[in-house]
């Protein structure tokens, strides 16, 4: 048993870190977040050139064919850099959904262009009731046409396709087709924009059954947790650095236990989130029976930890942490959006309860 | 990253599992309620059985009677022990902490003299570290040892000594150079507890039991050859013992915790709450799921730490994360048990209405000690702040 990165995984992580440091510095993040879509074509081409847009998908669809562990390494580094734009919604979310439910023909048509960096896509899940429970979805296609509204759809403005989770299946809608209206929803995270998408008898192609998208959502949730870990790590690093240099009462504030213990807790919360994310990715890769529980465990822990690490980081920074100029709030905003996405800790605790409390054999009792 | 067991790990697990099937006693639950002396005699026999099978100290090198087990194999060992609810071993400190310290720092004569009897449970070991005025600040301890005619004359007091009442030998940290800075004047002595001048008193703790003792030393003579390591280098010897303490403990806890949460879920299904069962109560469900999730993360943190130690070769301060994590989690699990059981949660073993023979009222009180023993949560956070994050020393 070896619960750490192997040599090629470490190499991948190192090259990811230097890629994002070079191509996506905070100055670029701030420039993009001030634009309407937080999207930059040249950054997208660089991501594509590295093979990142096809990282986990089969080579027959122009993907790179790596595993979920490699995916979360990518997302962790993207999270550390606070990568703006539609990478998550296109590659991780849409790519996994298409890969999970669509036919070979459709994958050639839709997954391959995503891998080649030629297309962007997003997935529309929530409706007015804003429930992450797929069983609560109301929208349904009638004669391959969709009507109604989806909310909180990430990066819809730059997407070529919108994958719609409907009661009777997963459908692909070309954003340019008649009857599709995209309007911005103004929300906390400035680096990942949200939209309301109105469908008025819009033409839709069925990709597969709704139930088939569950694993894709689990993969996306785990990748998002990894991205959250990257954000926590950056918040921790900035905070420790600040605690080592900022002086009050003639001493660096990091020498005070009240400050030091906040940092220690940030470290514990970050590392624990990382353990949970890595395990969930491995469990999904290996298809182990408790993979869904592992995903919920990771999202439960990281949802609270991401927010708490941010709280502590801002507190340790004092007044500086409350300024617009300091980068902490950008991570803090992303942490809140990610806490919410695919269900917060409360949602996943209930999901875990159904997998453990409500089953005949309580996990662990039979171990 | 590969969390599947290797072929060697599977072989190790299967060998121990089949050995346990034949050898693990089935009547421990009856014996644990008997007197301290009776149940301890039982544990001594159990350790001997393990020793005869070659399983008493799997982590030790083969030449000293161990199996040279990797950290993963050690984790498997403790999981298998927990899986069959095997009794603990009598000489827990000797096997887990003091034996490894003697193997690391002892002379050949000391190893030959002490190691076999630690394994066979013929000599039980206790640890004389904390003092009334030296808890978290262990290095300020005052028990003194003066060298006279080849003997150290020891005077002082120790507290919170586990197994003091049954200890044959003690790993004792004493001050041998009062003039030196506090970390530099300490020495570790191996002390025969039957020496004249050693007095052992029970220390009654808030649970009502006396798991621990106070030790008093009045002009106790300890032969010079019983110094462990170098004179005035006792701090390093003691710290290595403490690292074993933090490193090895978490490994055996996750299945024990998992069994607790499994039992709590069973209980929650039967306890009425607002016209339904507690297991159907949304708030209780949230809390059970939270504890369940954290128990799993505790396991994952441990496995990651093991992989890191295996890769780098040294136990690091990661043990401090585990210590904080399990001790605070255990307190939350016990509080949740109280919330599920309602008025029944407070009942002691002596009450006929008590649930599970009073383990939940006992656990509630006992877990307060978890964030204090083996290094307080505050000390662990200091260790993370200074040694992991590189912040300046705060004390």
Strand A169-174, strand A205-208: pairing? antiparallel
Candidates A196, A155, A198; CA nearest to A177 is A198
Which of A240, A255, A362 faces B389 most closely, judged by CB atoms? A240
B9 inside 8 A of chain A by CB: yes
A366 in any annotated domain: no
The sign of the torsion formed by the CA atoms of B361, B364, B369, B374 equals: positive
CATH superfamily of this structure's domain B7-119: Acyl-CoA dehydrogenase/oxidase, N-terminal domain (1.10.540.10)
C-alpha A294/C-alpha B297 separation (Å) is: 10
Chain B residue with minimum CA distance to A351 = B289
Same fold, B125-232 and B241-388: no
Tell me which residue of A226, A223, A188, A240 sits closest to A305, measured CA to CA. Answer: A226
Query: Helix/strand/coil (H, E, C) string of B246-275?
Result: HHHHHHHHHHHHHHHHHHHHHHHHHCEECC
B13 Cβ under 8 Å from any chain A Cβ: no
φ and ψ at residue B277, rounded to 5 degrees: -85, 160
DSSP reduced 3-state for B102? helix
Question: pLDDT of B5-44, one tens digit each?
Answer: 999 999 999 999 999 999 999 999 888 778 888 999 999 9
Rounded Cα distance, B386 and B371, in Å: 19
**Which pairing describes strands A180-185 and A121-124: parallel, antiparallel, or unpaired?**
unpaired
How close, in Å, is residue B291 to chain A by CA atoms? 10
pLDDT at B249: 61
Within a domain: A226: yes
Q: Which residues of A touch B295 (CB under 8 A)?
A: 364
Residue B50 is given by DSSP the state: H
Q: Best residue in B292, B320, B321, B323 to probe A by mutation, most A CBs within 10 Å?
A: B292
Query: Residue ranges of the domains in chain B?
Result: 7-119, 125-232, 241-388
Query: d(Cα A324, Cα A329) in Å, to the nearest integer?
Result: 7
B304 neighbourhood in chain A, CB within 8 Å:
3-4, 271, 274-275, 278
Residue B4 touches chain A, beta carbons under 8 Å: yes
Min distance A317 CA to chain B CA atoms (Å) = 15
Same domain for A253 and A174: no
Task: Please indicate, yes or no, whether residues A158 and A277 belong to a single structural domain of this protein.
Answer: no
Interface check A308 vs B, CB under 8 A: no
Query: Active-site residue numbers of B?
Result: 245
Nearest chain B Cα distance for residue A200, angstroms: 39
Enumerate residue ranges in chain B where pLDDT < 50.
Answer: none
Residue A1 inside a domain? The answer is no
8 Å CB contact of B6 and A1: yes
Interchain proximity A1–B72, CB inside 8 Å? yes
| B292 inside 8 A of chain A by CB | yes
Instruction: Kindly report the CATH number assigned to the domain that includes residue A278.
Output: 1.20.140.10
CB-facing half-sphere around the CA of B358: CA atoms within 13 A:
11
Question: A244 to chain B nearest CA, in Å?
Answer: 6
> A46 lies in a domain?
yes
* Secondary structure (3-state) at B186: strand
Q: What are the structure tokens assigned to A72, written together?
A: 């979360």
Q: Which residues of A fall within a CB distance of 8 Å from B322? A: none
- Residue at A330 is within a domain: yes
> Which pLDDT score is estimated for A191?
97
The pLDDT of residue A367 is: 34
B300 close contact with A: CB closer than 8 A: yes
Q: Do B385 and A264 touch (CB under 8 A)?
A: yes
Residue B131, SS3 per DSSP: strand
* Closest Cα in chain A to B282: A350
pLDDT for res A363: 45
Are residues A133 and A75 both part of a single domain?
no
Residue of A nearest to B286 (CA): A349
Rounded CA separation A39/B210 (Å) = 66
List B145's β-bridge partners, or say none.
Answer: B154
CATH number for A19: 1.10.540.10
Which residues of chain A are within 8 Å of residue B3 when distances are taken between CB atoms?
Answer: 1-3, 279, 282, 286
User: CA dist A53 to A94, A119, A155, A203, B124, Å?
Assistant: 11, 10, 16, 27, 62
Q: Note whether A161 and A292 are same-domain residues.
A: no
pLDDT of B248 reads 56
Report CA Rg, chain B.
Answer: 22
Q: Chain A partners of B6 at a C-beta cutoff of 8 Å?
A: 1
Q: Is the dihedral of CA A336, A338, A339, A342 positive or negative?
A: positive
Helix axes A291-317, B282-312, angle to 10 degrees: 80
C-alpha pair distances (Å), A228 with each of A152, A274, A332, B293: 19, 9, 10, 18
List chain A residues with pLDDT less than 70. Answer: 360-367
In a domain, A148, yes or no: yes
* Helix, strand or coil, per DSSP, at residue B16: helix
- The whole-number pLDDT of residue A360 equals 65
3-state SS assignment for residue A146: strand
End-to-end CA distance of chain A: 18
Domain count, chain A: 3
Residue A291 CA to residue A294 CA, distance in Å, equals 5
In a shared domain, residues A222 and A282 = yes
Q: How far apart are CA B204 and CA B213, in angstroms?
A: 8
Shared domain check, A266 and A168: no
Is there a contact between B90 and B40 (Cβ–Cβ < 8 Å)? yes
Verify that A100 and A12 share a domain, yes or no: yes
Residues of B whose CB is below 8 A from A276: 293, 296-297, 300
| Same domain for A127 and A67 | no
Enclosing domain of residue A232: 213-356
ipTM value of the model?
A: 0.96
How far is Cα A344 from Cα A131, in angstroms, rounded to an integer? 11
Instruction: Tell me the nearest-neighbour CA distance from B251 into chain A, angstroms.
Output: 15
Is any Cβ of chain B less than 8 angstroms from the Cβ of A1? yes
Task: Return the beta strands (E) in chain A as ranges.
Answer: 121-124, 145-154, 161-166, 169-174, 180-185, 194-203, 205-208, 247-248, 251-252
Residue at a domain's end among A165, A185, A210:
A210
The answer to whether the Cβ–Cβ distance between B300 and A275 falls below 8 Å is yes
Domain assignment of residue A48, yes or no: yes
C-alpha to C-alpha distances, B3 to A280, B26, B72, B303, nearest whole angstrom: 11, 32, 11, 9
For residue A209, give both structure tokens.
């059954």
Indicate the SS3 state at residue B152. strand
Which chain B residues are closer than 8 Å to A264 by Cβ? 324, 380-382, 384-385, 388-389
Domain boundary, last residue among A84, A115, A146:
A115
Strand partners, B128: B172
- A346 shares a domain with A245: yes
* A347 shares contact with chain B (CB less than 8 Å): no
Quick check: is A57 in a domain?
yes
CB contact B232 to A (< 8 Å) = no
Residues within 8 A of B (CB atoms), A 35-74 only: 69
- The 10 Å CB-count burial string (b at 16+, else e) for A165-175 is bbeebbbbbeb
B285 inside 8 A of chain A by CB: yes
Of the residues A46, A80, A115, the one at which a domain ends: A115
Identify the CATH number of the domain in which residue A194 sits: 2.40.110.10
pLDDT at B309: 82
Q: Which residues of A52-77 are buried (b: 16+ CB within 10 A; e: fewer)?
A: bbbbbbeeebbbbebbbbbbbbbbbb
Overall pTM > 0.80: yes
Q: What whole-number distance in Å separates Cα of residue B189 and Cα of residue B192?
A: 10
- Supply the DSSP symbol for B199: E
* CA–CA gap between residue B296 and residue B316 (Å, rounded): 22
CATH topology of domain B125-232: Butyryl-CoA Dehydrogenase, subunit A; domain 2 (2.40.110)
Looking at the complex, does the CB of residue A223 fall below 8 Å from at least one CB of chain B? Answer: no
A158 and A286 belong to one structural domain = no
Nearest to A349 among B4, B290, B304 (CB): B290
Q: Helix (H, G, I), strand (E, B), or coil: what is residue B108?
A: helix
Which CATH fold would you assign to the domain B241-388? Butyryl-CoA Dehydrogenase, subunit A; domain 3 (1.20.140)
Sort out which chain B residues have CB atoms less than 8 A from A268's CB and list them.
321, 324-325, 384
Do A17 and A84 share a domain, yes or no?
A: yes
Q: Does residue A219 sit in the same domain as residue A346?
A: yes
Instruction: Choose the closest CB to A6 out of B1, B300, B389.
Output: B1
């Amino acid at each position: 048993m070896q619960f750490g990165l192997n040599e090629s995984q470490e190499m991948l992580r190192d090259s990811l870190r230097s890629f994002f440091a070079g191509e996506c510095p905070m100055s670029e993040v701030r420039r993009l977040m001030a634009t309407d879509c937080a999207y930059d074509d040249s950054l997208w081409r660089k991501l594509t050139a590295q093979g990142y847009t096809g990282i986990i998908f089969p080579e027959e669809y122009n993907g790179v064919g790596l595993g979920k562990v490699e995916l979360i390494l990518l997302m962790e580094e993207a999270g550390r850099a606070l990568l703006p734009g539609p990478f998550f919604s296109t590659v991780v979310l849409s790519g996994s959904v298409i890969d999970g439910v669509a036919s070979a023909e459709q994958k050639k048509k839709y997954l391959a262009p995503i891998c080649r960096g030629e297309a962007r896509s997003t997935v529309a899940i929530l409706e007015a009731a804003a429930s992450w429970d797929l069983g609560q979805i109301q929208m349904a296609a009638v004669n391959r046409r969709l009507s109604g509204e989806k909310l909180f759809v990430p990066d819809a403005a730059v997407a070529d396709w919108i994958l719609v989770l409907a009661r009777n299946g997963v459908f692909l809608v070309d954003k340019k087709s008649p009857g599709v209206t995209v309007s911005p929803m103004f929300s906390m995270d400035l680096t990942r924009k949200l939209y309301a998408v109105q469908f008025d008898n819009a033409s839709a192609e069925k990709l597969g059954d709704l139930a088939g998208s569950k694993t894709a959502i689990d993969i996306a949730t785990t990748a998002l947790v990894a991205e959250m870990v990257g954000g926590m790590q950056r918040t921790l690093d900035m905070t420790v650095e600040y605690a080592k240099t900022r002086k009050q009462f003639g001493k660096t504030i990091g020498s005070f236990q009240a400050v030091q213990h906040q940092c220690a807790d940030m470290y514990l919360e970050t590392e624990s989130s990382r353990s949970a994310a890595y395990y969930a990715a491995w469990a999904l890769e290996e298809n182990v029976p408790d993979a869904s529980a592992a995903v919920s465990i990771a999202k439960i822990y990281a949802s609270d930890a991401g927010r708490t690490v941010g709280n502590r980081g801002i507190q340790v920074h004092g007044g500086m942490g409350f300024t617009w100029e300091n980068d902490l709030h950008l991570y803090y905003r992303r942490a809140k959006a990610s806490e919410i996405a695919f269900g917060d800790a409360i949602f996943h605790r209930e999901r875990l309860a159904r997998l453990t409390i409500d089953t005949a054999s309580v996990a662990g009792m039979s171990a | 990253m590969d969390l599947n067991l290797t072929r060697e790990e599977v072989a190790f697990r299967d060998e121990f599992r089949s050995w346990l099937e034949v050898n693990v006693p089935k009547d421990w639950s009856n014996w644990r309620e008997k007197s301290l002396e009776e149940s301890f005699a039982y544990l001594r026999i159990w350790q001997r059985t393990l020793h005869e099978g070659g399983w008493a100290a799997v982590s030790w090198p083969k030449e000293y009677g161990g199996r040279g087990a990797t950290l993963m194999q050690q984790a498997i060992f403790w999981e298998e022990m927990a899986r069959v609810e095997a009794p603990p071993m009598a000489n827990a400190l000797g096997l887990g902490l003091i034996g490894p310290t003697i193997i690391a720092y002892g002379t050949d004569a000391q190893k030959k003299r002490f190691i076999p009897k630690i394994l066979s449970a013929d000599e039980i070991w206790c640890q004389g570290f904390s003092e009334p005025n030296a808890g978290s600040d262990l290095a300020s301890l005052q028990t003194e040892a003066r060298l006279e005619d080849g003997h150290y004359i020891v005077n002082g007091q120790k507290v919170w000594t586990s197994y003091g009442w049954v200890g044959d030998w003690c790993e004792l940290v004493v001050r041998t150079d009062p003039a030196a800075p506090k970390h530099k004047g300490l020495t570790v002595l191996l002390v025969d507890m039957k020496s004249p001048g050693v007095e052992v008193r029970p220390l009654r703790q808030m649970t009502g039991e006396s798991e621990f003792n106070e030790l008093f030393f009045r002009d106790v003579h300890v032969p010079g050859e019983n110094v462990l390591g170098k004179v005035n280098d006792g701090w390093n010897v003691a710290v290595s013992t403490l690292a074993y303490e933090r490193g090895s403990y978490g490994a055996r806890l996750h299945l024990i915790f998992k069994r607790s949460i499994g039992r709590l879920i069973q209980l929650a299904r039967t306890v009425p709450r607002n016209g339904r069962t507690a297991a159907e109560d949304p708030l209780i469900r949230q809390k059970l799921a939270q504890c369940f999730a954290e128990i799993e993360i505790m396991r994952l943190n441990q496995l990651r730490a093991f992989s890191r130690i295996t890769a780098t070769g040294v136990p690091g301060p990661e043990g401090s994360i585990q210590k904080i994590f399990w001790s605070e989690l255990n307190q939350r699990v016990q509080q949740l048990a109280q919330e599920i059981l309602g008025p029944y949660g407070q009942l002691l073993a002596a009450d006929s209405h008590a649930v599970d023979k009073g383990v939940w009222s006992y656990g509630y009180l006992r877990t307060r000690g978890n964030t204090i023993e083996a290094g307080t949560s505050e000390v662990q956070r200091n260790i993370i702040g200074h040694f992991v994050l590189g912040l300046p020393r705060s004390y």
